[in-house]
Structure 1
Amino acid sequence: MTVAATRVSGAVLVVFVLLTLTFLLLALGEFATSDGIHKVGGWVGVATALAAWYASLAGVTAFTQQRTVFPVGPR
């Protein structure tokens, strides 16, 4: 999905890159039994959620307003 997101927009790409990092950090934290890595993975997950909210906001407002209100980066 991350590779495919390179053809959508910068905002969607950021969401999937952060999601990939979140999964990697959470898995690494589990295998290494490290609370610190787990916490970092959780915080990256929060950043993923914020990026997803922004991408959704930009998409919905662009559709309803028929113009770009929030920039999403290059396609």
Structure 2
Amino acid sequence: MSESEYRVTGMVCGHCAAFVTEEIERIPGVTGVTVDVEGGRVTVASDGDLDVATVRAAVEEAGYDLASD
């Protein structure tokens, strides 16, 4: 099992978190998503390593941006 944390910009409420969660959960292998709206962080648990481009595409599909650290 793997866990990765990403910084997401543009989230301001629970609805934002729901949209991001829904899109990331569609990625094959994802087993859990935790969103911290105030901190702008998303933690993703998965069966293995995830491709950051796949996570970025899911976040963008939800209407937000994956920040590059």
What TM-score bracket applies, with the shorter chain setting the length?
under 0.3
Q: Identify, as 1 or 2, the structure richer in strand.
A: 2
Larger RCO (alpha carbons 8 Å, 6+ apart): 2
TM-score normalised by length of structure 2: 0.28
Q: Identify, as 1 or 2, the structure richer in helix.
A: 1
